[in-house]
Amino acid sequence: MTSTTTHTARSTTGPVADQPMSSYIDTGRVAGLITQLLVELGEDPAREGLIGTPDRVAAWWKAFLSPSDAATATCFTESQLNGQLVIVGGMSVWALCEHHMLPMNLQVTVGYLPDGEVVGLSKFGRIAQHFAGRLQVQERFARQVAECLAEVIGREDVAVAVHGVHLCMSMRGVRMEEARTTTIHTGGRFATDSVLSQQFLTVSAGQRGVL
């Protein structure tokens, strides 16, 4: 089950959008395009302050759109552990809205039910960073994180809550700086057990300081 509380309409995207951006980016060509953009905006790329800006912007694009691989998972055997609710929060990542190419800050909380083993904690942050490093929409991001974690643990007992601040709404359009978007993705027992789901939602909300 996926539920979203949002102030803005989002479009459904096709399978192409699920693929990561290419790690190869021609930074020289990107720098040239940034130079052209500055000219079209009425700026002088050769003036003091803008010298080197196109190269810096191109380097940033290459770094941002080449996230580290999230495939390697470290799991630790805990044979006596099963059914315990584990929630990891406080993860903050930046992505780019694919509709306006403006940043969005995503606060991520994930929950899962261990069954004989636990997932190394750094794995959750790596998964979030991996799927944030591309042109995104928040709803797809939440689903991708959930699906990746479900693959790691081998079960669908996963919940993901994402709380986003979108500059495409805060600094353009209606310019509502306090607007927030919350997306909840649940699977397995989180989707069928209302008590378990409520426990996750209560803890994730508390970690954001909204209780």
d(CA 38, CA 83): 56
- Percentage of the chain with pLDDT > 90? 64
Which pTM value belongs to this model?
0.83
Bridge partner residues of 50 (DSSP) = none
Q: How many CB atoms lie within 10 A of CB 45?
A: 16
Name which of 122, 137, 135 is nearest 90 in CA terms. Answer: 122
- Position 77 scores a pLDDT of 74
Please give the pLDDT value at position 82. Answer: 75
| pLDDT at 10 > cutoff 60 | no
Return the SS3 of 117: strand
Q: What is the pLDDT of residue 148?
A: 94
Alpha-carbon distances, residue 104 vs 78, 87, 159, 176 (angstroms): 37, 23, 21, 14
Q: What is the mean pLDDT of residues 112-122?
A: 89
Q: How far is Cα 97 from Cα 134, in angstroms, rounded to an integer?
A: 9
